[in-house]
Amino acid sequence: MTVKSVVENKEKYEVELIVEVSAEEFEAGLNKVYMKNRGSINVPGFRKGKAPRKVIEGMYGAGVFYEEALELVYPEACNAAIAEKGLDHVAPPQVEILTLGKEGFSFKATVTVRPEVTLKEYKGLEADKVLPTVTEAAVDAELKMYVDRATQLVAVDRAAELGDTAVIDYVGLKDNVPFAGGTAQDYSLELGSNTFIPGFEDGVVGMKAGDVKDIELSFPETYHAEELAGAAVVFQVKCKEVKAKQPPVLDDEFAKDVSEFDTMEEFRASLKEKVIDRNMQQSEAQFRQALLGQLCDQIEIELPAAMIETQVDRFVDNYAARLEQQGITMDMYMQYMNIDMAKIREDLREPAILQTKQQLALDAVAAAEGIVISDEDVDAEVKKAAMNLGVPYERVSEGLDRENLKKDLARDKAMAVVAENAKAKLVEVADNGEVEITEITKEEVEAEKAEEKPKKKTTRKKKTEEVKEEKVEE
């Protein structure tokens, strides 16, 4: 590979490279493609996979393997040329083949390079920071999750009410004929859950164990099964049992069962601490996001179009991957939402511009602060991620783009520098939702967080050790 010429277009942040690939390099690529494909090519007089390359080229033309060899060779040659010239490229290069033959090939690569960023002030920025207060209602909401898990269903001798669970048998009839999917036995239906079509659960409300009832309904016009959409039906329902929710008694025994604390008072105190911690994290994240917006205002930059489109490509790929996890293809999504790819890309362009500016701004701070991420830093981050996920280090490390991770870690450190040197205007959210500026200091917020935490239950092991100590003292 030889770079024959370099032409810079500083206005567009583009560098044009003319690259030549020698006959020897191209020949190596052709031979790889031949070895890969020979097993699928039938040539009269030869066993499958045994025909010499020259014979195949004689039958199908000298250029039979050219296109695939090009796809194999030029990306590596292009990357080598970019590295040789030390270009910091920020988008996939645009490649145009100029010449192609047995003597090799040449191509033009248009490379978009990182734009120049003029960074103004990045220390002393100012933003609001919400004081992480917590109400008893918030603690009750946190406690509700434990209560719901400990709540039991018990049989009751009364008519079913909303919130109860009715154990029912039912048969759905359309024109006096049972329809597919309309029959079940011993089905536990939570009344008010809207599991069934509108009207069904309301019809079960008021039934007692042993009651039999016909519920006349119509399926919604938009029902997914065409044969039932808008159809009038009758459900023959037998109520076999009515169960009501029985919440636990919120006493010390409950606290011991669901937590590591001995009393309900200690358990609620721990929940309050948990809410405060979460609110502090959210407050810090919002504070940093506000600072990041201000930081973007502190840079002067003109973004290359190719850089924006590359970020849009990443957004589209990530969104498609999330859809695939839900069993939905991008084509299915576009059809359902009645939009096309052009509309999706248009909607993603502004977020792409914003994220690109944020990354470049943080990169500029990292450069100004001399932040460098070592291989050891990357390994430490991978080990931490592996520990948090509960998976082997090798599994997280495999296929990891370490250079991109280095950039992310450098940006995290740059953001930390901006936050540490920023001025936080602490605000307090009142019960009515109004925001008030407070005189409380950052030190006082940290002091509130560092208050003595509730004591946890003493473990059996610790108790045993205490008994041993007592015996020794005797």
HEC string of the chain? CEEEEEEEECCCCEEEEEEEECHHHHHHHHHHHHHHHHHHCCCCCCCCCCCCHHHHHHHHCCCCCHHHHHHHHHHHHHHHHHHHCCCCECCCCEEEEEEEECCEEEEEEEEEECCCCEECCCCCCEEEEECCCCCHHHHHHHHHHHHHHHCEEEECCCCCCCCCEEEEEEEEEECCEEEEEEEEEEEEEECCCCCCCCCHHHHHCCCCCCCEEEEEEECCCCCCCCCCCCCEEEEEEEEEEEEEEECCCCCHHHHHHHCCCCCHHHHHHHHHHHHHHHHHHHHHHHHHHHHHHHHHHCEECCCCHHHHHHHHHHHHHHHHHHHHHCCCCHHHHHHHHCCCHHHHHHHHHHHHHHHHHHHHHHHHHHHHHCCCCCHHHHHHHHHHHHHHHCCCHHHHHCCCCHHHHHHHHHHHHHHHHHHHCCEEEEEEECCCCCEEECCCCHHHHHHHHCCCCCCCCCCHHHHHHHHHHHHHHC
Statement: residue 98 has pLDDT above 50:
yes
Percent of the chain at pLDDT exceeding 70: 90
The pLDDT of residue 114 is above 80: yes
Residue 404 located in a structural domain: yes
Query: Taking 80 as the threshold, does the pLDDT of residue 126 lie above it?
Result: yes
CB atoms within 10 A of CB 217: 18
Q: Are 26 and 52 found together in one domain?
A: yes
What value, to the nearest 5°, has the Cα angle with vertex 301 and ends 296 and 306? Answer: 110
Based on the fold, state whether residues 294 and 424 are members of the same structural domain.
yes
Q: Which of 64, 86, 114 is the last residue of a domain?
A: 114
Residue 179 domain flag: yes
Bridge-based pairing state of the strands 423-429 and 126-130: parallel
Residue with tokens 């009839």: 173
Rounded Cα distance, 308 and 58, in Å: 46
What mean pLDDT do residues 290-314 have?
A: 92
pLDDT at residue 441 greater than cutoff 50: no
Assess if residue 70 is contained within a domain: yes
Global confidence as pTM: 0.68
Domain identity same for 241 and 260: no
In a domain, 474, yes or no: no
- Summarised one tens digit per residue, pLDDT across range 240-299 is 999 999 999 999 999 999 999 999 999 999 999 999 899 889 999 999 999 999 999 988
In a domain, 20, yes or no: yes
Mean pLDDT of the chain: 88
Q: Is the pLDDT of residue 446 over 60?
A: no
59, 87, 114: which is the final residue of a domain? 114
Give Cα separations from 464 to 30, 224, 256, 263 (angstroms): 74, 63, 19, 21
What are the beta bridge partners of residue 312? Answer: none
Beta bridge partners of 154: 244
Scored b (16 or more CB within 10 A) or e, 233-271 reads: bbbbbbbbbbbeeeeeeeeeebbeebbebbbbebbbbbb
Q: What is the pLDDT of residues 68-82, one digit of tens each?
A: 999 999 999 999 999
The answer to the question of residue 383 being in a domain is yes
Q: Which amino acid is present at 86?
A: G
Please tell me the predicted confidence (pLDDT) of residue 39.
Answer: 84
Residues 296 and 388 in one domain: yes
Please indicate, yes or no, if residue 93 is contained in any of the structural domains.
yes
Residues 162, 221, single domain; the answer is yes
CATH number at residue 67: 3.30.70.1050
Tell me the average pLDDT across 28-33: 93
pLDDT in tens, 39-70: 888 888 888 888 888 888 888 888 889 999 99
pLDDT of residue 134: 82
**pLDDT in the model for residue 272:** 93
Do 286 and 389 fall within a single domain?
yes
**Tens digits of residue pLDDT in 401-429:** 888 899 999 999 999 999 999 998 888 76
Q: Based on the structure, what is the number of domains in the chain? A: 3
Same domain, 70 and 15: yes
Q: CA 397 to CA 401: how far, in whole Å?
A: 9
Q: Above 70 in pLDDT, residue 455? A: no
Question: What is the C-alpha to C-alpha distance for residues 297 and 43, in angstroms, rounded to an integer?
Answer: 66
* Structural domain that includes position 25: 2-114
Together in a domain, 211 and 275: no
Residues 425-443, mean pLDDT to the nearest whole number: 57
- Asked if 247 and 151 count as a contact pair (C-beta separation under 8 A), the reply is yes
Q: Would you say residue 63 lies in a domain?
A: yes
Mean pLDDT calculated for residue range 165-184: 95
| Residues 3, 21: Cα–Cα separation, whole Å | 9
**What is the structure's pLDDT at 425?**
87
Residue 174 and residue 278 in one domain = no
Q: Are 281 and 422 found together in one domain?
A: yes
Q: Are 220 and 265 part of one and the same domain?
A: no
Residue 433 has pLDDT above 80, yes or no: no
Reported confidence tier of residue 300, pLDDT bands at 50, 70, 90: confident
Distance of CA 141 to the CA centre of its chain: 26
Give the pLDDT of residue 9: 85
For residues 279 and 180, membership in a common domain is answered with no
